Chain A
Amino acid sequence: MSHDVSHEHEAHAHEPVGYGSYILTWLALLVLTAMTVTAAGMHFGSLSVLVALAIAMVKASIVLFLFMHLKYEDRIFHRLLMIVIAAMVIFIGLTFTDTLFR
């Protein structure tokens, strides 16, 4: 059989998310984009990277948790996110122990 009724409950264990909440999410992303473009015109000096990164991380989290449903998934999926963040922090951080102190 090409469709499998018995897995209905496993597949959509939670109530389907309403369309409206996705639209709100999108609006939030548009606002954050406007913020990041505006921030680019302001003079934060050496902090400008951090501001840009911070806004980008908020946007990414919104996409991850809401569009990609991470908020509703089992905890193991959250741990996967932790693993990749830890990997990036280690790779960049430890490389900087070299390049920053040459």
Chain B
Amino acid sequence: MSSQSHSIALPNHKDYQGSKFAIWLFLITEVILFGGMFVLYSVYRSEYATDFHHAAEELNTLLGTINTLILLTSSLTMALAIAATHHGNRKLSLTMLAVTVLCGVAFLVIKYFEWGAKIHHGIYPGSEFLLAHPKGEILFFGLYFTMAGVHGIHVLVGVVLLTVMFLRVANQPNGKVSFVAGHGLGQAEGGRIAIVDKDGKTLWTGEEIDTSIQRIDISTRYWPVKERFRVIDFNLLENSGLYWHIVDIVWIFLFPLFYLIT
């Protein structure tokens, strides 16, 4: 197959559906990762129903509810950020992404205070105070800290990921074209690159191109026109969004099963 691309890069076989399929497979592994802990929860809940009920009263339902609302809202803003890219609205997309990240941070901050208070009261895995309680309560908190902890790690990873996505979207729209020796550059020998406006007036001219030139890169930064922005393939952003929604879904189950069994 002869090459018609101007740049040295992997052939552009961007399989949109393929990467979406792969991300869903990855999300399956995430769900099953939490699922293992839900197996333990379900067995111990059925075995120590009363103990779980008492232990749950120690949890701060208000903070748990607030955290739930924060994550649900962050799911909304995530979806809006992606919808904005489809509508070509760069500003809205960036704003919504920033709010999503802030929601994630807020969730973690609240968790920090929530757990700080718990630890201050002696409720943490391995504490003497906890070990003096009935077995079901020990297990409740063992599971609580582990499951919420693993979930929190996923929130943190999501925050980092979405921050990176924010920077990538902020960098759009742009483009880069390259001409390389042996692939079309030879025809330009003896010439110069120029920027010419619509009236034919030369705005800028570059150096003369001789045989010492191996490569010309033209990086363009487009004015964030709606039409330009809309056609960009935001594959990675959409897949990150899917990840974030799964993090939300896990909490949707954690919240009632730990905070609301009073």
Interface of A with B (CB < 8 Å)? Answer: 1-5, 7-8, 10-12, 16-19, 22-23, 25-26, 29-30, 33, 36-37, 39-41, 46, 48-49, 52-53, 55-56, 59-60, 63-64, 66-68, 73-74, 76-77, 80, 83-84, 87-88, 91-92, 95-96, 99-100
Contact = CB atoms under 8 A, between A and B. Distances in A.
Contacts of B25: 80
B87 A16 contact: yes
Interface stretch (B61-69, B118-126, B146-154, B188-196): B61-69
Pairs of residues from A and B, 9 with the lowest C-beta to C-beta distance, nearest first: A16-B86, A40-B260, A52-B256, A26-B76, A3-B232, A67-B79, A8-B231, A22-B79, A60-B249
Interface of B: 12, 14, 16-17, 20-21, 24-25, 28, 31-32, 35-36, 38-39, 42-43, 45-47, 49, 61, 65, 68-69, 72-73, 75-76, 78-80, 83-84, 86-87, 172-177, 231-233, 235, 241-242, 245, 248-249, 252-253, 255-257, 259-262
Given A4-B12, A11-B233, A36 B38 contact: no
B28 A83 contact: yes
Contacts of B38: 88, 92
A88 to B, nearest CB: 5
B245 A67 contact: yes
Contact of A84 (B31, B84, B176): B31
B91 to A, nearest CB: 14
Contact of B17 (A29, A55, A74, A99): A74
Contact of B32 (A7, A11, A49, A88): A88
B28 A5 contact: no
B16 A7 contact: yes
B43 A88 contact: no
27 contacts: A1-B12, A3-B175, A3-B232, A8-B231, A19-B84, A26-B72, A26-B73, A26-B76, A30-B69, A30-B72, A36-B255, A36-B260, A39-B260, A40-B260, A48-B261, A59-B249, A63-B75, A63-B252, A64-B245, A67-B76, A67-B78, A77-B24, A83-B28, A87-B32, A91-B35, A92-B42, A99-B47
Contacts of B255: 36, 56
B76 A10 contact: no
A16 B12 contact: no
Nearest to B6: A1
Nearest to B177: A1
A37 B61 contact: yes
Nearest to A4: B233
A16 B75 contact: no
